[in-house]
Amino acid sequence: MRSLLLALLVVGCDAYDRDIGPTPFLCGPDEPRCPMGYTCMMDGISGDEVCVGNGGSVTENPDCADDSAYEPNNTLLEAKPTTIDEMKTFTVDGLAVCPANDRDVWSIMIGATTQTIEIVVAYDPDKVPLQAAILNEGGVPIASATPVSGMDGTIRAAQQNLPVGKYYMLVNGPNSGAPAVNNYKLTITASP
């Protein structure tokens, strides 16, 4: 009886099977982050980095606008510059907080004192609501966006009397609840 059980265990178990299967799984923290034959990629819906078999793909989110021309812009160091100091208005449409847990950071330079900066973010009100804020040079919020009355899916923040310097605008999803994925239009205005 023992020899039959041992034979079944040996036949049913192959310690050298390298086929992990087609289902993506999380990437490891150290290199190599995935086993041979797999590539670490960003999942467009969950925002997780997953190992995908060669020839495979991660889930693309068809609801996300393609704002790859502005990515990466997730941190103050990666902030995308605006032309607000020369143009006084900066508008970009077709932006996205995507994949989940994405955040978009924009930088502006103010060259004249006593400037007022206003940001308006318009997003799809049928999806997860977005948040926005104006940040000082150190990344500390100095004005948080609030809903605009009578305009579903629109938030606004403004800060008056800003001295000369560098500021940032942050757009992201909520810090809790379901992962945020939403498209938006950003308008930044500077006025004396």
Q: All domains of the chain, ordered by start, with CATH?
A: 18-60 (no CATH), 68-191 (2.60.120.380)
The rounded distance, in Å, linking the Cα atoms of 86 and 135 is 20
Dist CA 134 CA 108 (whole Å): 10
For residues 143 and 162, give the distance between their C-alpha atoms in angstroms, rounded to a whole number. Answer: 12
The answer to whether 50 and 57 have CB atoms below 8 angstroms apart is: no
Q: Of 154, 175, 157, 181, nearest to 167 (Cα)? A: 157
Three-class SS string for 50-101? Answer: EEEECCCCCCCCCCCCCCHHHCCCCCCCCCEECCHHHHCEEEEEEEEECCCC
The percent of residues above 90 in pLDDT, for the chain, comes to 49
Amino acid identity of 121?
Answer: V
Summarised one tens digit per residue, pLDDT across range 57-110 is 555 566 788 888 898 899 999 999 999 888 899 999 999 998 777 899 999 999
Query: Which residue in 69, 65, 79, 179 sits closest to 124, CA to CA?
Result: 65
* Best CA proximity match to 92, nearest among 171, 19, 184: 184
Closest CA to 180 of 144, 130, 120, 113: 130
∠ CA 5-11-12, nearest 5°, is 90
Asked if residues 20 and 52 have their Cβ atoms less than 8 Å apart, the reply is: no
**Can you tell me the distance from the alpha carbon of 151 to that of 173, in angstroms, rounded to the nearest whole number?**
19
User: Can you give the pLDDT of all 192 residues of the chain as single tens digits?
Assistant: 555 444 544 555 445 455 666 567 888 888 888 888 777 776 655 667 778 776 555 555 667 888 888 988 999 999 999 998 888 999 999 999 987 778 999 999 998 877 899 999 999 999 889 999 999 999 999 999 999 999 999 999 999 999 999 999 999 988 766 667 899 999 999 998
